[in-house]
Amino acid sequence: MTCGGAVRLWLNIPVTAWTGAALLSLGVAALAIGLKLVLGLNGENMATLVLLQISAVLALAIFSGNSGIVSFGHSAFMGVGAYTAGLLTMAAAAQKTALPTLPAWLAGHETGLLVALAATAVVGAVVGVISGLPLSRLSTGSAAIGTLAFLIIIHVSLVGARDFTRGSQTFYGVPRLTTLWVALAAAILMIFAARLFRETRLGLALRASRENEVAAAAIGINMRQSRFLAWVASITCATLIGALYGHYLGAFSPKDFYFDLIFTFIAMLIVGGLFSVSGAVAGVLMLALVIQLLREAEAGVDLGFATLPQIFGLPQLGLGLALLLTIWTRPNGLSGLGELRLASLTRRPDEVAPKPLTLQAQTTPTKQSLAVRDVTVRFGGLTALDHITFDVPMGQVTGLIGPNGAGKTTLINVICGQQRPTSGSVTLGGQALSALPAHRVAAAGLARTFQNIRLFDRLTALENVVVAAQGAGRSRTEAEGIAMAELARMGLAARWNERAEAFAYGDRRRLEIARALALAPAFLLLDEPAAGMNPAETDRLIETLERLKAERDLGILVVEHDMRLIMRLSDRMVVLNKGQKIAEGSPDAVRSDPLVIEAYIGTKRHHNDQLES
Amino acid sequence: MMDIILQQVLNAISLGGIYALLALGLAVVFSIVGLINFAHGELMTVAGYVLFLGVLFALPLPFAVLLAIGAAALAAVLTERLAFRPMRKADATSLLLTSFAVSAILRVLFQNGISARPKPVPLPSALSGTVNLGPVHLGAVPLASIVVTVLSLVTLNLFLKRTTMGQAMRAAAEDFQVLRLMGIKANRVIAVAFGLSGALAGISAVLWVAQRGSVDPLMGFIPVLKAFVAAVIGGLGSLPGAVAGGFVLGISEVLFQAFLPEAALPFRDAFVLSVVIAILIWRPEGLIPAKTARRS
């Protein structure tokens, strides 16, 4: 996609991400080489460690930063990598004395670092798959504890597998192959991997589900699958970095990969910024310095006139306080949500009208309808919906109204696959929506907005819409064009690069509609689209929807309390009361229906009488 | 033989009981404020040290025990006031990390303020002996531990079902907004939840110390890790789930300890946690999932 002659995407990833990563790499490399030049061997050692810490924190960020689930397990997975690679590269003679009971098939390989890393990557991927399968099934809160269970399981296994690891004794004789240059290469690779991963289809989908699980499912994101894939990638990276860390240390034991290590990494990631790769790097640099200073102060400091006492665990205390202060004062970390980028390269994508998808969705016949058939929902003794049947025809606007408690929300949840009906079904083009998991409903051709707006708050307006278009099977380039076109339709094109959380109420509603339209749905469900809008905004919304109806082959179901909007917009109306359908027909017919008048005005008069008496 | 089997069953139930009390403390707080409290283990440590001081100054044992439990409850309320109240609006991850930091800070303070080494807590000999029930000899501590656990669970249940505050807490666990409708101050409910969770940590600490005979700055770390796992197996935020999860975990630990072959014993925790993961694959929401109000 070009704009003003400049390239916006390269390999389907924004150029700003590439240049940002390159800039960050340059900075880190300059710092590392500077340390070596100024401080000599000591500086080289320090720089190597910091580069490895950067790499490890970024491996953690690939999963935690994008999914929002903090992993406590990564240090242990690094341990797996360190022991695996160490067994392979160790000199045969040293191995005989250190590990006399090592099985023969593992002994005496004396491979080079690259071969060992390749083997470690395989082990890492396998371990990642095994741990990822249960983890991706857990809810967000439980998943964090799940990673804690992995930390313990792996730690206990490393201590227990004495034949391979010498148990809790020091595992020694690993050649120190991780030089400054190796660590620098690793850090640069990880900077690019982590920064670019954020922008991939998977990374963007995961960030969307981090911001709002329900909305992510509604645009077709399979959160479990996204979490699983990101976890496997992140764990594979972590074991590789662990292998390098092992070859930096030379001698280590299981406790080197336990709580203290992951605590350090988490503190670095959070202080710098969980949601930003640049932030994570800054956090490592800052806290590495703090740890270094505190470690020197740990033995007590002589101030000349007084001596500070020796404080055991001072670095830990410092990290704890840094973590606490960051969460209190800057919950998104010191860097906030921003990424390092060259502002002059930030280009606005062109608007492109969507080409029909060759894959799915739009190939369905146009004269189908969304059919609600005999739907009943009971919650215990309460019948929320009682044998409801109606159609939402293609090319028309169907209005759904009813007083509070009529069952509108329950009906919407049934249609969108969030609530299984007790009996009956909802079908679209022969597919039973009511039997699909929530994330498959979008692909079947139904998009929706929410009564309590659900946006991806910490994503930009463009990203909010792009993630939906990608969910419908578009490439990033196509998705950006479609997203800009939908943003322009809703009057938001000028604010494409602002984060959704900065938008005012009416704009948020419009952004949500743009996101739903980017799915290129056959049917659109709008849940109280005018709630909280002022009359001028409502008028503009009505105009936009009327234009939409004329432009696209689209069936719309609107649930609304605003009578002016629904009477003007609807071709047909369905009225619910106390779980039953009491009327269906043209707006005029419904308006004069005595049952409807009683449900709305009758009860109100009754209510007023009560108030007056 | 009979002795050994019965003793193992008793051990299993008493260990499960301690995990259950700890998991319950975590669940009470989680159900109301959405916090997975890493610092729960440090509350145990506080209770442990107060008990140590009580015994050191030769206070009557019941008094020392009550003091220890009270201290843990007070510490819980204080951490809420100082560390968690500023975070009332934050998401689950920030809350979790806050408690993670608080826990690390407290641990360093214990290590420097008291001692990094374990301190022995000599308990009266009546507790270290055995109880003879006819031909069967059973350890006094596990028995006492089971009695205390059962009493605590019954009392907690009565509190939650019969008192206004208890009912308010149960309502808040399902839907926090209800508190406003009931006209009960949210801060009070939260403070009581923390106090309760601290008291439960205190009771578990006393039982734990009674079995080990010493306290150290890291004493709460391992049992609370286990309690996290128990709370997740049971269903995060579900009180009956926490109790069930605690017992499942404690009983499977003792069973594995008793029946694993010698060579596999070092891997006991790995086996136990694999069972846990199998349970979670079967029921991702836990054994007895928490009820929460969902709004679309």
| Domains: count for chain B | 1
Does some domain include residue B223?
A: yes
| Element (DSSP H or E) covering residue A60 | helix A15-67
Task: Kindly report the nearest CA distance between residue A419 and chain B, in angstroms.
Answer: 11
Q: Is-contact A178 A81, C-beta < 8 A? A: no
Neighbours of A546 (CB within 10 A): 13
| Nearest neighbour of B104 by CB, restricted to A312, A316, A413 | A316
Is A160 touching B (CB cutoff 8 A)? yes
Per mean pLDDT, which range of B26-40, B128-142, B157-171 is the poorest? B128-142
Residues of B in contact with A156 (CB under 8 A): 266-270
Distance CA B198, CA B204 (A): 10
Is B257 touching A (CB cutoff 8 A)? no
Select the highest-mean-pLDDT range: A400-404, A562-566, B178-182: A400-404
Neighbours of B124 (CB within 10 A): 9
Q: pLDDT tens across A304-333, in order?
A: 676 767 777 888 889 999 998 888 888 888
CA-CA distances (angstroms) from residue B162 to A549, B158, B166, B239?
58, 6, 7, 16
Task: Kindly report the nearest CA distance between residue B143 and chain A, in angstroms.
Answer: 29
Distance CA A423, CA A437 (A): 17
Task: Work out whether the CA dihedral A588, A589, A590, A594 comes out positive or negative.
Answer: positive
Burial call A455-476: b when 16+ CB within 10 Å, e when fewer: bbebbbbbbbbbbbbbbbbbeb
SS3 state of residue A523 = strand
Preferred mutation among B91, B98, B232 to probe A, highest tally of A CBs within 10 A: B232
Preferred mutation among B110, B262, B280, B292 to probe A, highest tally of A CBs within 10 A: B280
Distance CA B86, CA B75 (A): 17
Distance CA A553, CA A362 (A): 10
Phi, psi of A400 (to 5 degrees): -115, 120
Distance CA A7, CA A19 (A): 12
CA of residue A135 relative to chain centroid, distance: 15
CA-CA distances (angstroms) from residue B289 to A146, A495, B24, B36, B224?
16, 43, 14, 16, 20
Does some domain include residue B290?
A: no
Q: pLDDT tens across A429-481, in order?
A: 878 887 888 888 888 899 999 988 999 999 999 999 999 999 888 888 889 99
Task: Kindly report the nearest CA distance between residue B115 and chain A, in angstroms.
Answer: 10
Task: Kindly report the nearest CA distance between residue B243 and chain A, in angstroms.
Answer: 17
Beta carbons of A145 and B36 less than 8 Å apart: yes
Is A251 touching B (CB cutoff 8 A)? no
Beta carbons of B108 and A409 less than 8 Å apart: no
What ipTM was predicted for this assembly? 0.84
Count of CB pairs separated by less than 8 Å, A with B: 133
Burial call B39-55: b when 16+ CB within 10 Å, e when fewer: bbbbbbbbbbbbbbbbb
Distance CA A245, CA A57 (A): 13
Domain map of chain A by residue range? 15-343, 368-612
| Nearest neighbour of B108 by CB, restricted to A162, A317, A451 | A317
Nearest residue of chain B to residue A298 (CA atoms): B112
Preferred mutation among A145, A255, A294 to probe B, highest tally of B CBs within 10 A: A145
* DSSP classification of residue B83: I
Q: Is-contact B40 B197, C-beta < 8 A? A: yes
Beta carbons of A328 and B232 less than 8 Å apart: no
Cβ within 8 Å of residue B157, ≥6 positions away:
none
Beta carbons of B266 and A160 less than 8 Å apart: yes
Q: Is the pLDDT of residue A351 over 50?
A: yes
| Nearest neighbour of A145 by CB, restricted to B228, B295, B296 | B228
Model confidence band, residue A609 (pLDDT cutoffs 50, 70, 90): very low
Q: Look up residue A24 and give its two tokens.
A: 């960050």
Q: pLDDT tens across B12-45, in order?
A: 898 999 999 999 999 999 988 888 898 999 999 9
Look over chain A and give the mean of its residue pLDDT values, rounded to a whole number.
88
Q: pLDDT tens across A102-145, in order?
A: 888 888 888 999 999 999 999 999 999 999 998 998 888 788 88
Is B36 touching A (CB cutoff 8 A)? yes
Residue reference for tokens 């501590």? B141
Distance CA A589, CA A595 (A): 11
Nearest residue of chain B to residue A155 (CA atoms): B270
Strand partners, A436: none
| Nearest neighbour of A270 by CB, restricted to B97, B229, B231 | B97
Distance CA B205, CA B203 (A): 5
Is A450 touching B (CB cutoff 8 A)? yes
Task: Kindly report the nearest CA distance between residue A324 and chain B, in angstroms.
Answer: 6
Distance CA B53, CA B188 (A): 30
Which whole number is the average pLDDT over A337-352?
75
Beta carbons of B93 and A137 less than 8 Å apart: no
Is A169 touching B (CB cutoff 8 A)? no
SS3 state of residue A299 = coil
Task: Kindly report the nearest CA distance between residue A520 and chain B, in angstroms.
Answer: 23
Burial call A212-248: b when 16+ CB within 10 Å, e when fewer: bbebbbbbbbbbbebbbbbbbbbbbbbbbbbbbbbbb
What pLDDT does A201 receive? Answer: 94
Q: Is-contact B48 B215, C-beta < 8 A? A: yes
Beta carbons of B273 and A214 less than 8 Å apart: no
Distance CA B254, CA B245 (A): 14
Give me the domain span that covers residue B144. 7-118+139-228
Model confidence band, residue B222 (pLDDT cutoffs 50, 70, 90): confident
Cβ within 8 Å of residue A185, ≥6 positions away:
none
Which whole number is the average pLDDT over B5-13?
85
Does some domain include residue B257?
A: no
CA-CA distances (angstroms) from residue A381 to A572, B73, B295?
32, 42, 20
Does some domain include residue B68?
A: yes
Task: Kindly report the nearest CA distance between residue B29 and chain A, in angstroms.
Answer: 14
Beta carbons of B270 and A452 less than 8 Å apart: no
Q: Is the pLDDT of residue A532 over 70?
A: yes
Does some domain include residue B205?
A: yes
Does domain A368-612 fall into CATH 3.40.50.150?
A: no
Cβ within 8 Å of residue A98, ≥6 positions away:
A90, A166, A171, A172, A173
* DSSP classification of residue B262: G
* Maximum separation of any 2 CA atoms in chain A, in Å: 99
Residue reference for tokens 């891997």? B267
Residue reference for tokens 């809703």? A490
Residues of B in contact with A319 (CB under 8 A): 101, 104
Strand partners, A376: A423
What pLDDT does A603 receive? Answer: 53
